[in-house]
């Protein structure tokens, strides 16, 4: 049984990691949140590339970039533009951390950075959680939940109508300037 802990190794903390994810990762966004992510394999490749560049630039440097092997990692960026009060910014971060912690076992291995936007301060806890889970699903990191209330609601709805083209005009419905064509296309 996996534990739902959020250890230090599950956090993106270094500025170099944030820069790497922003530069080499992918992004999906909503009006209230943006998610930047990089898979573990891509992170390992970009760390190796950064180490090669570092060796060329400073051969005697002991600094090396590496991604700890610990599963999915989360980084948060909530600026003062989102909410000028620290209490509001901390509430957003707390909800994001808790949502990530509870779904960490189902996430694909990689680095995820959530950037809050101005509208995030106006959302309540459930809306923030839903926004983050939606972004993770759009990124392909989290499978859609079959037991979520939204999935149950969607399953109870009737199937969508099939796509149809516009109906042909009957001679009595056609304006005077349009002459109807036959279905065989001889007109």
Question: Which structural domain, as residue segments, surrounds residue 110?
Answer: 10-40+71-141
> Does 26 fall in a domain?
yes
* pLDDT, position 2: 56
* pLDDT, position 174: 47
> Does 152 fall in a domain?
no
> Does 98 fall in a domain?
yes
Tens-binned pLDDT, residue by residue, of the chain (187 aa): 556 777 888 899 889 889 989 988 999 999 999 999 998 888 888 878 888 888 888 888 777 777 766 689 999 999 999 999 999 999 999 999 999 999 999 998 999 999 999 999 999 999 999 999 999 999 998 888 744 555 444 444 444 444 444 445 445 544 454 445 555 555 5
> Does 186 fall in a domain?
no
Main-chain dihedrals φ then ψ at residue 62, nearest 5 degrees: -95, -5
* pLDDT, position 157: 44
* pLDDT, position 155: 41
CATH number at residue 90: 3.30.230.10
> Does 151 fall in a domain?
no
> Does 61 fall in a domain?
no
Main-chain dihedrals φ then ψ at residue 36, nearest 5 degrees: -105, 135
**For the chain, what is the domain count?**
1
> Does 168 fall in a domain?
no
CA dist 40 and 20 (Å) reads 12
User: Is the Cβ–Cβ distance between 82 and 96 less than 8 Å?
Assistant: no
User: Is the Cβ–Cβ distance between 11 and 74 less than 8 Å?
Assistant: yes
> Does 131 fall in a domain?
yes
Residues 6+ away with beta carbon under 8 Å from 35: 27, 28, 29, 112, 113, 114, 115, 132, 135, 136, 138, 139
């Amino acid at each position: 049984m996996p534990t739902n802990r959020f250890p230090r190794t599950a956090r993106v903390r270094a500025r170099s990691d944030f820069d790497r994810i922003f530069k080499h990762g992918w992004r999906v966004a909503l009006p209230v949140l943006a998610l930047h992510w990089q898979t573990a394999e891509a992170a390992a490749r970009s760390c190796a590339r950064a180490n090669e560049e570092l060796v060329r630039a400073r051969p005697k440097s002991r600094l090396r970039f590496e991604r700890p092997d610990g599963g999915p990692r989360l980084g948060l960026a909530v600026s003062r533009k989102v909410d000028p009060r620290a209490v509001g910014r901390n509430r957003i971060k707390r909800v994001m951390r808790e949502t990530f912690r509870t779904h960490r076992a189902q996430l694909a291995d990689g680095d995820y950075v959530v950037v809050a936007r101005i509208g995030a301060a106006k959302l309540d806890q459930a809306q923030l959680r839903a926004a983050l889970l939606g972004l993770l699903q759009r990124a392909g990191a989290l499978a859609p939940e079959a037991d979520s209330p939204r999935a149950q609601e969607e399953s109870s709805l009737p199937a969508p109508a099939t796509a149809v083209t516009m109906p042909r005009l009957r001679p009595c419905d056609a304006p005077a300037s349009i002459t109807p064509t036959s279905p065989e296309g001889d007109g």
